[in-house]
Structure 1
Amino acid sequence: MEPRSSQPPPSADGGTCVFCALLEGRGTAAWIHHGDRASALLPLPDSSLAPGHCLVIPQAHVVGMQDAPADVLQAVTSCAQDLARGMQTALGAHGVNVLHASGAAAGQSVGHLHLHVVPRWEGDGLETWPEGRSAHVAPAEWLPALRAEVAR
């Protein structure tokens, strides 16, 4: 993990984002880790999917996967990996789910990039894999268009 500090790192959001406010020390959070580029905290108790469920948030205010620079994504995924390893050792987790939504249509509820790292145990009863399929019909030439966009 990144070096620990006793205080949350400062942010440049201007105070409108709940996660940025928490990073600035405004509000109460149960912090697991404070890093220079990414931090981890527990969700609100009524939002926790399992004991040890954590949120990983970048220091930088970015809304989602689409606008995050590669170094921000690297810091967030590295912190998530450290949490997953810690959950295995400290909680005896058999696995983890890493959940994420970018954009309101995907179910993103807070406009600040965050990953949910949820420890899992055999037979724990939690269902996290989506059921069903999207009813959206993609344009006819979506595959070559996507390949071209990714290759840019």
Structure 2
Amino acid sequence: MVATCIFCQLLDGQGPVEWLHRGDRASALLPRPQGRLAVGHTLVISNEHAVGVQDVSPDALSAAALLVQRISRALAAAIGAEGVNVLNASGPNSDQSVDHLHFHVVPRWAGDDLDTWPRGRSSHQPPDDWLDAVHAHLGT
């Protein structure tokens, strides 16, 4: 736990929160009403403090991913969500709002007028050998 992290504080029982699920390794909560993108919008967080997918333990990441699936199925059954967008930003320059691993599970319906898909493209120019470097780090 990190004392200055809002998600760690909520996991520690500090502050008002609407929990949908409290697990040993991952939990799910509703965002504050002003931050909800749709009815049922849920945040799935790792109970382990990690900034993002790059530094979280494999067990905590697995638990969070499995909870994303459970929440998605529950939203389909309970409120008829036809699909979900699962959104995550991890690390510096990713537009991450809270430096604690979390996934937004946003229910979707035909014609709901919500646009969560990026429309622009990065202007960053990688080195010519970027793909070889990725393969080298992956060991493939």
TM-score (norm 2): 0.97
User: SS at the partner of 2:54?
Assistant: helix
- Which residue is 2:52 aligned to? 64
**Is residue 53–residue 90 contact of structure 2 (8 Å, CA) maintained in 1?**
yes
Percent identity between matched residues is 54
Write the deviation string for residues 39-66 of structure 1: whole angstroms up to 9, x where unpaired: 0000111110000000000111011110
Match of 1:4 in 2: none
In 2, Cα distance between the equivalents of 1:14 and 1:124? 37
For residues 74-113 of structure 1, the aligned pairs below 5 Å read 74-113=62-101
| DSSP-derived class of the 1:104 partner | coil
1:25 to 13, 38, 54: 13
Provide closer, same or farther for how the CA distance between residues 141 and 48 of structure 1 changes in structure 2, counting only shifts above 3 A: same
Residue segments in structure 2 that go unaligned for 5+ positions in a row: none
Counterpart of 2:60, as a letter, is V
SS at match of 2:27: strand
CA RMSD, 1 decimal:
1.0
Runs of 4+ in structure 1 over 3 Å off:
none
CA 97–46 in structure 1, closer or farther in 2 if over 3 Å, else same: same
Q: What amino acid is the match of 1:95? A: G
In the alignment, is residue 43 of structure 1 matched against residue 31 of structure 2? yes
TM-fit CA distance, 1:31: 0.6
Distance 1:66 1:93 in 2: 30
How many residues get paired? 140
Give TM-score scaled by structure 1 length: 0.90
Q: What runs of 5+ residues in structure 1 fail to find an aligned partner?
A: 1-12
CA contact (8 A) 2:2 2:49 kept: no
Residue identity in the other structure for 1:49: L
